[in-house]
């Protein structure tokens, strides 16, 4: 039973979010690192070409229900990919009907 509990806690810290980029749907895995303040979100795009564009620019922050991001607003591919992911994440995080509680659990 302990194994299931640990596995469930780990799984709750990784979510998959679809996003659209250039009229195609892609998926990203978001891993929440609650050991940092603000919470760090590490993004992995499940597409090698888009993942290469994000290279080294795949960490966002989340605090008090808000995303904190650094996006170069220059029209580059990096800018457009990050904005597409951010928009999908914002939509997901604002939807209270999903099953995940994304806030860190209180220490016991």
Tell me if 28 is assigned to some domain.
yes
Per-residue model confidence as pLDDT tens digits over 67-101 = 888 887 888 999 999 999 999 988 887 876 654 55
Tell me if 50 is assigned to some domain.
yes
Between CA 72 and CA 51 the distance in angstroms is 17
> Does residue 107 or residue 78 have the better pLDDT?
78
- The domain total for the chain is 1
Tell me if 7 is assigned to some domain.
no
Between CA 51 and CA 78 the distance in angstroms is 10
Three-class SS state of 28: strand
74: domain range?
14-94
Tell me if 20 is assigned to some domain.
yes
The reported pLDDT for the residue numbered 92 is: 86
The reported pLDDT for the residue numbered 28 is: 96
Per-residue model confidence as pLDDT tens digits over 1-51 = 444 444 445 445 788 999 999 999 999 999 988 887 888 889 999 999 999
Tell me if 101 is assigned to some domain.
no
Is residue 105 scored above 80 in pLDDT? no
The reported pLDDT for the residue numbered 49 is: 95
Tell me if 45 is assigned to some domain.
yes
Tell me if 81 is assigned to some domain.
yes
pLDDT, averaged across the chain: 81
Tell me if 100 is assigned to some domain.
no
Between CA 98 and CA 64 the distance in angstroms is 17
> Does residue 22 or residue 104 have the better pLDDT?
22
């Amino acid at each position: 039973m302990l194994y299931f509990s640990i596995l469930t806690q780990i799984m709750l810290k990784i979510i998959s979010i679809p996003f659209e980029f250039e009229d195609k749907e892609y998926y990203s895995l978001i891993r929440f690192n609650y050991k940092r303040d603000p919470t760090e979100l590490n993004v992995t795009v499940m597409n090698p070409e888009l993942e290469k564009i994000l290279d080294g620019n795949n960490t966002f922050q989340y605090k008090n229900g808000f995303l904190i991001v650094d996006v170069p607003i220059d029209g580059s591919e990096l800018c457009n990919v990050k904005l597409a992911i951010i928009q999908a994440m914002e939509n997901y995080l604002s939807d209270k009907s999903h099953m995940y509680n994304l806030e860190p659990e209180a220490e016991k």
